[in-house]
Amino acid sequence: MMSVWAWAMGSLVLLVGGCAILPKWFERNLRSARDDHSRRPALWERFYSVDWGATTTNNYGFAPARGDHPERFQHQMYRELFERLKAKRPLEGRLKVLEVSCGRGGGLMAFVGEGSEGFDVTGLDVAPSAVAFCRRTHGETDNRRFVEGSALALPFADATFDVLLNVEASNDYGDRERFFREVARVLKPDGIFLYADSFRSAHVERVHRQLSESGFAAEFDDITRNVLEACRLDTPRRRTVLRRHAPLAGRLLLRRQLGNYAGLTGSRKYRAFAEGRRSYLMSVAIPG
């Protein structure tokens, strides 16, 4: 799983040499890196190469959240998806589950922790450093593996998976419709696509249409208020993560930008959610 602020730290690690004395040049390059989707895999690789400590999730989170785990709001996002899965089909047999853009794997592990031990799970990420972290931290077994690959060319045969997860990552791909077509290809005919991401509110109908044109019948929940509350409650922890683990140059040059991409209280992204200019959707989509 990936947050929409991650490109900033990836860009920083990629571009920081010599930039401290040229802040305007640096910001132009940062915007260019953000907008050039062909550079995203390299940015993600650098982002996940940073030591983020025990943090294993990056999504904005969902409130209210169960438990007292430091990342409970992020885990709750996956629990909400799991509840929607349970409402759609019985959890019988060994369901094959794929998460596209699994990041450091904490969300996928939270999802699996809610469900049947019969799950056969695969986490896929474009960043080798993220895949390596998942293998070290979560381990691999006969029914759990982590692989490197692109969301736009999933390295799996047609009709392989019963469930596909994608959380807060599709804005990074550059071609959302192609991704949706890949999802439709690797899902079984009775499979379920569990999808969550944020969009400019003016673009929500476009996302609905893209899913439909990719062959999905989809139900949408607007969870913006839940996400906004999670951002508010989780801001102190996020500030601590950035202070302890973000490279010093990033904290000096990109303090405001990092706060925005982390959804900290008062940031531009936080205000966009609060003022209705940005919406966060959770969807259950079924091929057909």
User: Domain tally for the chain?
Assistant: 1
Predicted pLDDT of residue 36:
65
Q: What is the dihedral of CA 78, 51, 25, 127, to 10 degrees?
A: -60
Averaged over successive runs of 10 residues, the pLDDT of the chain (288 residues) comes to 44 43 52 65 84 93 97 98 94 92 97 86 97 97 96 98 97 95 97 97 96 96 98 97 81 77 94 98 95
Predicted pLDDT of residue 25:
53
Q: Kindly report the number of other CB atoms within 10 A of residue 237's CB atom.
A: 15
CA distance 148 to 154: 10
Beta bridge partners of 165: 99, 194
**Is-contact 13 49, C-beta < 8 A?**
yes
CA distance 237 to 250: 18
Secondary structure in 3-state letters for the chain: CCCCCHHHHHHHHHHCCCCCCCHHHHHHHHHHHHHCHHHHHHHHHHHHHCCCCCCCCCCCCCCCCCCCCCCHHHHHHHHHHHHHHHHHCCCCCCCEEEEECCCCCHHHHHHHHHCCCCCEEEEEECCHHHHHHHHHHHCCECCEEEEECECCECCCCCCCEEEEEEECCHHHCCCHHHHHHHHHHHEEEEEEEEEEEEEEHHHHHHHHHHHHHCCEEEEEEECHHHHHHHHHHHHHHHHHHHHHHCCHHHHHHCHHHHHHHCCCCCCHHHHHHHCCCEEEEEEEEEEC
- Provide the CATH number for the domain around residue 224: 3.40.50.150
Predicted pLDDT of residue 22:
40
Predicted pLDDT of residue 15:
42
Secondary structure in 3-state letters for 19-31: CCCCHHHHHHHHH
Predicted pLDDT of residue 17:
39
**Domain limits for position 22:** 1-288
Q: What is the pTM of this model?
A: 0.88
Distance, CA of 227 to chain centre: 13
